[in-house]
C-alpha cells in the first residue's frame, strides 16, 4: 500500500509541474530578426558652413525592448562638403564622420515606422580658406580630429519586404578644434540582406 501511495504522489507531481511552469512563465517579446540592413542617405547639412552630406549605414537588429520597440546597432560612415563665401573670403570644410549608434524603432502600422538614433563617434575635418584683399589672395589650410554626437529622428516606409525608404532630421554637435553643431535634412534607402 505504501508503494502505491508513493507512486500516486510522484505521478501527481509530474503532472502538476508542467502546468505550474506554464502558468508562471514570463511573457517575453519575440526576438528581432538578425538580418543586416545596409543603405545610404543623402541630404543638406547646415551649420557655420552649409553643403552636401552623404552617409552609409549598416544596421543590425539586436533585440525587442518591448513588444513594439526594437533596438538595433548602427554603424555609419559619413562625408560632408561644406562651404560659405562672404566678403571676399571662401571657406571650405570636408568632414569624414564615423559614428556607432543605437537605433530605437517603433512601428506605426505594417508599412510605416518611426526611429531615433543616439551615437558617439569621431570626425576628421579638413579645413581651407581663401581670402582675397586688395588683389592679393592668401590660402590657409588646417585639419582637426575630435569627438561628435549624433541625434537623429526619422521614419521608414516599407516599400517591399526587403527595402525601405527613409526621411530624417539629424543633429551633429562636434567638439574639438572644429567646434560646430550642424543640422541635416536626409533622405535614404535601406536594403535588408
Checking if the pLDDT of 38 tops 60, the result is yes
The lowest-confidence range among 15-24, 39-48, 144-153, 161-170 is 15-24
Question: Residue 3 has what pLDDT?
Answer: 47
- Are residues 38 and 162 in contact, defined by beta-carbon separation less than 8 angstroms? no
- pTM (2 decimals)? 0.77
DSSP conformation class of 26: P
Task: Return d(Cα 158, Cα 23) in angstroms, integer.
Answer: 37
pLDDT of residue 24: 52
Beta bridge partners of 4: none
Confidence of residue 8 (pLDDT cuts 50, 70, 90): low
**Selected residue with higher pLDDT from 126 and 89:** 126
> Which one is predicted more confidently, 126 or 23?
126
Return the pLDDT at 30: 44
Predicted confidence band of residue 5 (pLDDT cuts 50, 70, 90): low
Model pLDDT for residues 134-188, shown as the tens digit of each residue: 778 888 899 999 999 999 999 999 999 999 999 999 999 999 888 899 999 999 9
Share of the chain above pLDDT 70, in %: 83
Beta strands in the chain (DSSP E): 37-46, 50-64, 70-86, 89-107, 112-133, 136-158, 163-175, 180-192
- What whole-number distance in Å separates Cα of residue 174 and Cα of residue 153? 18
Q: What is the mean pLDDT of the chain?
A: 87
Amino acid 89: pLDDT: 87
| β-bridge mates for residue 137, sequence order | 132
Torsion angle of the four alpha carbons 122, 126, 127, 130, in this order, in degrees rounded to the nearest 10 = -170
The pLDDT value recorded for residue 29 is 46
Q: Which domains does the chain have, with CATH numbers?
A: 35-192 (2.40.160.20)
pLDDT score of 2: 55
What are the two backbone dihedrals, phi and then psi, of residue 26, each rounded to the nearest 5 degrees? -70, 150
- pLDDT band of residue 10 (cuts 50, 70, 90) is very low
Amino acid at each position: 500500500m505504501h508503494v502505491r501511495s508513493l507512486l500516486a504522489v510522484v505521478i501527481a507531481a509530474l503532472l502538476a509541474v508542467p502546468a505550474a511552469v506554464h502558468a508562471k512563465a514570463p511573457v517575453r517579446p519575440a526576438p528581432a530578426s538578425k538580418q543586416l540592413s545596409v543603405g545610404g542617405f543623402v541630404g543638406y547639412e547646415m551649420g557655420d558652413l552649409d553643403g552636401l552630406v552623404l552617409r552609409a549605414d549598416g544596421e543590425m537588429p539586436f533585440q525587442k525592448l518591448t513588444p513594439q520597440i526594437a533596438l538595433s546597432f548602427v554603424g555609419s560612415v559619413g562625408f560632408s562638403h561644406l562651404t560659405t563665401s562672404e566678403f571676399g573670403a571662401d571657406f571650405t570644410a570636408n568632414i569624414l564622420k564615423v559614428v556607432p549608434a543605437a537605433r530605437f524603432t517603433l512601428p506605426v502600422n505594417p508599412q510605416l515606422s518611426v526611429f531615433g538614433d543616439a551615437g558617439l563617434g569621431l570626425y576628421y575635418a579638413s579645413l581651407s580658406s581663401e581670402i582675397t584683399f586688395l588683389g592679393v589672395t592668401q590660402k590657409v589650410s588646417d585639419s582637426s580630429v575630435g569627438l561628435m554626437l549624433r541625434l537623429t529622428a526619422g521614419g521608414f516606409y516599407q516599400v517591399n519586404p526587403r527595402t525601405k525608404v527613409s526621411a530624417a532630421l539629424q543633429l551633429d554637435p562636434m567638439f574639438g578644434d572644429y567646434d560646430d553643431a550642424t543640422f541635416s535634412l536626409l533622405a535614404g534607402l535601406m536594403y535588408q540582406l
